[in-house]
Amino acid sequence: MSNYYKNPEVLTVFGYEVYFTRFADSIIKDHFQDALSDLEKVLEEFQITEAQLISAGGGLSSITQNLRDKLYEHNWEKINIESEHKVREKVLTSESHEIDHYKEFGKGNIGLEIEWNNKDPFFDRDLENFRKLHQLGELTLGIIITRGESLQQELIEVYKRFLNDIYPYSIEQLSEKLSLSQKASARISNMVSFDREESVAAIARLLCSSKYGTSTTHMQKLTTRMDRGVGDPCPCVLIGIGKERISA
C-alpha cells in the first residue's frame, strides 16, 4: 500500500499531478485556506514554453525563477531556522535549516521547495529538513513542486519537435542553440548524418537523457521516497507539473 494518495477535491488546478501524505489534504483544506489560495493562484498563472524546456538548466533555470518569483509575490520567503539541543545549558548539537519558501499562518507554518531539475538526492535533503522542523514544531506541513510524470514522458517529444523544426541541421548549428559538452558534441556529430527520422530520434534521446535523466528530480523519484517513509512523520503535498502546462 502506497504512503501517498490523491484527493481530487483539494488543489484541483488543471495540469498538475497532486499527491498527499499523512492527511496533508485535510490539513491544508480545513486549516490553511489562505495557503491553498496562494498555491492555486501561483499554479494557475504558471506556464512553461518549449523553448524554456530546451534551454533550461538546473535549479536556477528560468522555469524555477518564474515559480520562485510568483511565490515571493505571495510572501513565501526564504528562511534559515537555527536549532540547538541543550542539556543543563550546554549546547550538544546545533543545526541550520534552510527552506526556500516558508510562510507563517495563524494555525502553523508551511515550507515549500521547488525541485525542477536537480539531482534526485535533493529530495532526501528537503524531506529530512521537513521532518526535523516538523518535530521541532516549526513546520505543520511541507510542499514539494517537481516535474510530473506526464511532463517527464513528454520531454523527448519536445526535443523531437525542436529538431524537426530546424532540420536539416549541422553539429555547428546544434552547438549554437544548445549547451553541448564536448562528449555530447562528439556523439551527436555521428548522428547528424543519419536519415531524418533516425537522426531526430537518436539526438532527442541523447539530449533528453543528459538533461532530464532518470537520476534527476521528478515525481517518480519523489513518490519512491514516500513509500520508503523518507520525511515521516511530516505531512506533505507533492505537486507534479504536468505536460498540460506547456505552452507554445
- By DSSP bridging, strand 108-115 and strand 90-105 are antiparallel
Structural domain boundaries in the chain: 16-148+218-247, 153-212
What pLDDT digit, counting tens, does each position of 57-85 carry? 544 588 999 999 999 999 999 998 877 66
What pLDDT digit, counting tens, does each position of 167-219 carry? 999 999 898 888 788 888 899 999 999 999 999 999 999 999 989 988 999 99
Greatest distance between any 2 Cα atoms in the chain: 75
The Cα 100–Cα 68 span in angstroms is: 9
- Please give the pLDDT value at position 147: 97
**pLDDT grade for 99, boundaries at 50, 70 and 90:** very high
Q: Which three cell numbers stand for residue 180?
A: 553541448
**pLDDT grade for 91, boundaries at 50, 70 and 90:** low
The listed CATH number (3.40.50.10860, 3.40.91.20, 3.30.70.20, 3.40.50.720) that belongs to domain 16-148+218-247? 3.40.91.20
The residue ranking higher by pLDDT, 173 or 23, is 23
